[in-house]
Amino acid sequence: MSTRGAEAGRGPATAGRQPPLVYAVAAISALGGLLFGYDTGIISSALLFLSRDFGLSSREQEVVVSAILVGAMVGALGGGALSNRFGRRRIVMAVAVVFAVGAVAAALAPGTASLVAARFVLGLSVGGASAMVPVYIAEMAPPRIRGRLMVLFQLMVAIGQLIAYVCGYLLAGSGGWRWMFALAVVPAAVLLVGMTRLPESPRWLVEAGRAEQARAVLARLRRPEDDVDGEIAEIHAVQDRLPSNPWRELRKGWLRPALVAALGIAMFSQLTGINAVVYYAPTVLTDAGFVDSVALLTGIGIGVMLVAAGIAGTLLVDRIGRRRILLLLMPGSALAMGVLALSFLPQQVSVTQQWVIVAALFAYIGLNGVSMQSVVWLLGPEILPLAVRGPATSLAALTLWGFDLLIAITALTMVNSFGRTATFGVYALMNVLCVVFVARYVPEPKGRSLEQIEQALRRPGRFARELEDLGRRQSVR
């Protein structure tokens, strides 16, 4: 099926039910999240063995882990600009190609330098996926189910991490890490083929002057009773205000509340410690006295918890709301991280303490995963206006990857310099500060269309309050 044919036709839809294409768009494009999750997760298992094969020090291990994050920062920053020019769909397809190339290069790497270079290439695709897939889903999804469809991206990240942990366990041993990296080619190929069957974002089509194609796409993505013409009119109303230079628009004062919320959530998603656990849990656990097999099995347990948290987040984020789920669960995340920190206090960790460590790890992953990790890829594309959505979402992704890099490049060094208790204690404090930030700066976009959110942002007054008032007016009607 050609792209034009995919955009011009309309599949059958049953009144009251969403057309299947809506779910196909979310499921296929979210495979970018699976790639993202697999390659950020597989390094924790591979690191145990490639560090022995290559004789890596702790600092060199951090460099190998961090190379993908440097690439992700570049990919996230460039992805937004390229998507504004070429479209969301084409960039996601390019992400799949680059990922496959990077996976093969990592699997065949003869030494540390080539492995670092290959992981940088993988990072380009991971960063591009993190910036573009949530935007693509947000611009395609109906407001009433937008949250759960966008959280599917994070769920696929978690599934990718679980698959990575299972593969790491099954392929454990010297040289097995090469197969761990190579297997990523399979989902990359599926993503590439699947995206050829999907339409372009209707909002990007309007921006490109292809309004009739945008209307045809929306007709396929909406129920028969939905007001497609009204949605097109809303998109045009926003489109008419698009600036010639969206990067310059980011300096405007009216955008600041959305930017603060989006960038702050991106920052705290990493400072609260999730990827310190994902990247280094097996390494930290083996250093604390766990045998390799137990540490790897604990990694699989972490992967299972990430998937369970992703499923719970998918079910709850539209029901409870983005802001509320953070305020409800992040205090528990802080408590679990604090317990984990205290569990490492004795020099020699007993069997009982090992069980406490594992329980605290799982509790932290569950609470942080359902709340912060479900919201982080959802909030930015929802609250950032169309005029700057590409560059602003890239900036949010750049922020996330920048702080992820900070965690990756310092976690083992902090553990070696200050101890596990102090390191995890800092992450616990960051969880507490995150709750304060959410209470002060994060709005609730649940149930609002992207255009309504932008209208609330443009009104004078506090952004969060304007969205609350909009919700009350909708409830009255």
Query: For the chain, what's the residue count?
Result: 477
Q: Is residue 279 part of a domain?
A: yes
Structural domain range at position 428 = 17-198+254-476
Residue 281 belongs to a domain with what CATH number? 1.20.1250.20
- CA–CA separation, 135 and 84 (whole Å): 11
Using one digit for the tens of pLDDT, what is the confidence trace for 205-225?
A: 988 889 899 999 988 988 888
Would 211 be classed as within a structural domain?
A: no
Integer Cα distance of 261 and 264 in angstroms: 5
Count helices and strands (H / E) in the chain: 23, 0
Residue 236 CA to residue 171 CA, distance in Å, equals 53
Q: How many domains does the chain have?
A: 1
CA dist 125 to 179, 391, 446, Å? 19, 17, 29
Tokens of 243: 């600036």
Q: Would you say 44 and 168 are in contact if contact means Cβ atoms under 8 Å apart?
A: yes
In a domain, residue 321? The reply is yes
Q: How confident is the model at residue 2 (pLDDT cuts 50, 70, 90)?
A: very low
- Would you call 331 exposed, middle or buried from its count of C-beta atoms within 10 A (0-12, 13-18, 19+)? middle
- Per-chain mean pLDDT for the chain: 83
Query: Does residue 234 form part of some domain?
Result: no
Q: What is the pLDDT of residue 8?
A: 38
Share of the chain above pLDDT 70, in %: 91
Q: Which of 13, 457, 472 is nearest to 228 (CA)?
A: 13
The reply to whether 10 falls in a domain is no
Under 8 Å CB-to-CB from 161, ≥6 apart: which residues?
Answer: 37, 38, 40, 41, 278, 302, 303, 306
For the record, the structure tokens of 449 come out as 């269309």
Q: What does the block give as tokens for 52? A: 């022995």
Position 329 confidence tier, pLDDT thresholds 50, 70, 90:
very high
* Domain contains 235: no
Angle at 425 between CA 422 and CA 427, to 5 degrees: 120
Answer yes or no: is 219 within a domain.
no
Give residue-wise pLDDT tens across range 332-391.
999 999 999 998 887 677 777 878 888 898 999 999 999 998 898 788 888 888 777 777
CB burial of 217-240 (b: ≥16 within 10 Å; e: otherwise) equals bbbbbbeeebebeebbebbeebbe
Would residue 213 count as lying in a domain? no
Q: What is the pLDDT of residue 7?
A: 39
